[in-house]
Amino acid sequence: MNTVKIKNITLGEGMPKICVSLVADTLEQVQKQMEILRELPHDMIEVRLDYFESLEKEFIEKAFGIVQNMEEETAVLATFRTRAEGGEREISAAEYENLYVWLLEEKMVDAMDVELFMGEEVCKRLVKKAKEQGISTIFSNHDFNKTPEAEEMKQRLRKMKELGADVVKIAVMPNSMEDVYRLLSVTTEIKEEIQSPVITMSMGKEGMISRLIGESTGSCLTFGAGKKASAPGQISADKLKEVLEIIHSHLG
């Protein structure tokens, strides 16, 4: 399987990497949460822009400045999660694209999460700009209501790859353990087909297992909770690290 190097980590090899999410609204909260996050085991920090109280450039620059000053060597992922996919606020496609283009041009991040359902043209333009700037893209899709049929999930992941994503991601909500098993099966099959790093997760309590066994199924990144979980079913980053290391030791 192809791998993707983002700063000092390589996705697609070895133990799944741990990403912790910064879910802060004010600059004071950014500082406080970073002081907590830096003490947790992690390989990447996701900055959730949709939580920010302001999307003014000055505010964003200060927020990312705090993150980078405290975690200079850590890979930083920028994410604006739209309300339609579980985020905190609405945003138009044009505003979304303009925000991301500015972040890319300023090279404030090492990777960027782009929602597939923003549309093909937006995705194509953003991946082109990201490649020009040497920044990685993670294309994503989130369904907080259900787990789609296997072929539908595969089609979405294939489309992400087709549009040029470096890494593809899907997160779904299970209504039964059968849903969880379907997501895990899709993961093992699609990673071989598209030969690209894959991130998958089944959310909620039923899907928690999917966050732990990525080394077996082929999911290369998992999200651990810091002060506040950014999605249903996340467990604390320190406990997550322990479980991943136990599994890795038995697979190695």
Residue 228 has pLDDT above 90, yes or no: no
Alpha carbon 180 to its chain centroid, in Å, reads: 19
Question: 51: which DSSP letter?
Answer: G
pLDDT given at position 235 = 85
Residue 213 has pLDDT above 80, yes or no: yes
Residue in 227, 222, 225, 245 with CA at minimum distance from that of residue 235: 225
pLDDT per residue over 32-46, tens digit each? 999 999 999 999 999
Alpha carbon 71 to its chain centroid, in Å, reads: 18
Whether the Cβ atoms of residue 170 and residue 147 lie closer than 8 Å to each other: no
Please compute the mean of the pLDDT values over residues 141-157 and round it to a whole number: 97
Alpha carbon distance 108, 187 (integer Å):
31
Question: 32: which DSSP letter?
Answer: H
CATH superfamily of 16-247: Aldolase class I (3.20.20.70)
Question: 143: which DSSP letter?
Answer: E
Whether the Cβ atoms of residue 91 and residue 82 lie closer than 8 Å to each other: yes
pLDDT given at position 22 = 95
Of the pLDDT bands very low, low, confident and very high (cuts 50, 70, 90), residue 236 is: confident
Residue whose pair of structure tokens reads 């450039």 in the numeric block: 57
Mean predicted lDDT score pLDDT of the chain = 94
Please compute the mean of the pLDDT values over residues 191-213 and round it to a whole number: 95
pLDDT given at position 246 = 95
pLDDT given at position 1 = 58
Residue 23 has pLDDT above 60, yes or no: yes
pLDDT given at position 75 = 97
Alpha carbon distance 248, 232 (integer Å):
25
With b for 16 or more beta-carbon neighbours within 10 A and e for fewer, the 55-72 pattern comes to: eeeeebeebbebbeeebe
Catalytic annotation, residues: 142, 169
Whether the Cβ atoms of residue 245 and residue 15 lie closer than 8 Å to each other: yes
Residue 243 has pLDDT above 90, yes or no: yes
Amino acid at 163: L
Amino acid at 64: F
Whether the Cβ atoms of residue 141 and residue 117 lie closer than 8 Å to each other: yes
pLDDT per residue over 82-138, tens digit each? 999 999 999 999 999 999 999 999 999 999 999 999 999 999 999 999 999 999 999
Please compute the mean of the pLDDT values over residues 221-246 and round it to a whole number: 81
Of the pLDDT bands very low, low, confident and very high (cuts 50, 70, 90), residue 234 is: confident
Please compute the mean of the pLDDT values over residues 200-206 and round it to a whole number: 95
Residue 207 has pLDDT above 70, yes or no: yes
